[in-house]
């Protein structure tokens, strides 16, 4: 159980978000807990993609596929109506549309009264993420459903030779997100059901106190800009931003980091409205450290 203390000395507090009646304690476990897991948001998320289920771009290469599934409450059974599902992925050349008004291979759909959703698109391909790191083919998804924390995740595919060397796809958290691609007439098909989860999140009012630009006093070229989306804390990047989840004790982390790696930001409110932000990180090859930023 994550701690509930969040800057209590400054009248800020954490809240638990839940859907009443779906989950109940039973000994040391919760009946209704599901294993849909989060993954890194990645640097290429763009908000406000068009509401459409057909993402196919005429004339572009790629294997046609239908991604279908069901959104459920935390009991793993009850359908969730009108959940918002955002899907985005690279094209057949491994390139993301990060700037055009077409939002190529990006779309938003909503689950029907039975929780069902579907997208018609292509299978993404593996690509070089820089420095020789080959990311396996994957879909990105963000599911937003009232009463639950938004779920950010990635879907991978059986038989992809790049999964074994990818720290995210090869983690224990990703095992149930490596999916089978089946043949179905003229298009392939991928099935993925999602069960939403109740987790602790920071009070949105508390997050408001943390927003803004933070600067490293020793090197003013280093800065961090935090903003709020869906009542969660986000860190701005070149395309849009990355979501950080509240883990208690005034700290937010980057969800989906591989085992043994982490990236967290811890906030401390100072006098006269100032805020100190401390980045703690552990990356590959034992790269670790602490960097402090201030605003106000």
CATH code for the domain in which residue 64 is found: 2.60.130.10
Q: Last residue of a domain, which of 173, 195, 217?
A: 195
Does residue 113 lie within any of the structural domains? Answer: yes
Angle at 100 between CA 97 and CA 102, to 5 degrees: 90
Structure confidence at residue 87 (pLDDT): 98
Q: Last residue of a domain, which of 158, 174, 195?
A: 195
Tens-place pLDDT, residues 205-250: 778 889 999 999 889 899 999 999 988 899 999 999 999 988 777 8
Structure confidence at residue 79 (pLDDT): 97
CB 278 within 8 A of CB 294: no
**Residues 29, 176 share a domain:** yes
CB 234 within 8 A of CB 244: yes
Structure confidence at residue 5 (pLDDT): 40
Does residue 32 lie within any of the structural domains? Answer: yes
**Residues 96, 223 share a domain:** no
Q: Last residue of a domain, which of 195, 214, 239?
A: 195
Does residue 156 lie within any of the structural domains? Answer: yes
pTM as predicted:
0.76
Structure confidence at residue 31 (pLDDT): 41
Query: In total, how many domains does the chain have?
Result: 2
Does residue 165 lie within any of the structural domains? Answer: yes
pLDDT confidence bin for 109, thresholds 50/70/90:
very high
pLDDT confidence bin for 200, thresholds 50/70/90:
low
**Residues 222, 186 share a domain:** no
Q: Which of 59-68, 76-85, 124-133, 153-162 has the lowest mean pLDDT?
A: 124-133
Looking at residue 204, which CATH number applies to its domain? Answer: 2.40.128
**Residues 282, 155 share a domain:** no
Residue 280, domain extent: 8-15+199-295
**Residues 114, 259 share a domain:** no
Residues sharing a CB contact under 8 Å with residue 257, sequence separation 6 or more, in sequence order? 40, 263
Does residue 281 lie within any of the structural domains? Answer: yes
Residues sharing a CB contact under 8 Å with residue 296, sequence separation 6 or more, in sequence order? 212, 270, 272, 273, 274, 275
Q: Is the pLDDT of residue 33 over 80?
A: no
Tens-place pLDDT, residues 55-106: 999 999 999 999 999 999 988 999 999 999 999 999 999 999 999 999 999 9
Contacts for 146-150: CB closer than 8 Å, 24+ residues apart: 147/17, 147/18, 147/19, 147/196, 148/17, 148/19, 148/74, 148/196, 148/197, 148/198, 149/17, 149/196, 149/197, 149/198, 149/199, 149/201, 149/232, 149/245, 150/230, 150/232, 150/243
**Residues 213, 184 share a domain:** no
Does residue 1 lie within any of the structural domains? Answer: no
Does residue 112 lie within any of the structural domains? Answer: yes
**Residues 120, 219 share a domain:** no
CB 30 within 8 A of CB 18: no
Does residue 182 lie within any of the structural domains? Answer: yes
């Amino acid at each position: 159980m994550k701690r509930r203390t969040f800057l209590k000395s400054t009248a800020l507090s954490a809240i638990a978000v839940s859907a009443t009646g779906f989950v109940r304690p039973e000994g040391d476990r919760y009946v209704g807990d599901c294993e849909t897991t989060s993954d890194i948001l990645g640097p290429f998320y763009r908000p406000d993609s068009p509401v459409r289920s057909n993402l196919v771009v005429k004339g572009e290469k790629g294997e046609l596929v239908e991604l279908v599934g069901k959104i459920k409450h935390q009991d793993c059974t009850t359908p969730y109506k009108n959940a918002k599902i955002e899907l985005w992925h690279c094209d057949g050349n491994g390139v993301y549309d990060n700037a055009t008004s077409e939002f190529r291979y990006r779309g938003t759909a909503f689950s029907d009264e039975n929780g069902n959703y579907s997208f018609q698109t292509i299978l993404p391909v593996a690509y070089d993420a820089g420095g020789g790191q080959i990311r396996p083919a994957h879909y990105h998804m963000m599911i937003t459903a009232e009463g639950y924390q938004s779920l950010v995740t990635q879907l991978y595919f059986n038989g992809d030779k790049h999964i074994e060397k990818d720290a995210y796809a090869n983690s224990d958290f990703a095992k149930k997100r490596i999916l089978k691609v089946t043949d179905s007439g003229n298009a392939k098909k991928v099935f993925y059901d999602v069960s939403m989860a109740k987790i602790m999140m920071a009070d949105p009012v508390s997050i408001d106190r943390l927003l803004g630009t933070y600067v490293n006093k020793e090197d003013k070229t280093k800065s961090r800009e935090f903003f709020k989306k869906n009542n969660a804390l986000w860190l701005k990047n070149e395309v849009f931003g990355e979501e950080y989840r509240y883990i208690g004790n005034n700290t937010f982390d980057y969800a989906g980091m591989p085992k043994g790696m982490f990236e967290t930001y811890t906030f401390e409110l100072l006098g006269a409205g100032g805020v100190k932000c401390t980045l703690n990180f552990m990356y590959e090859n034992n790269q670790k450290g602490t960097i402090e930023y201030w605003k106000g």
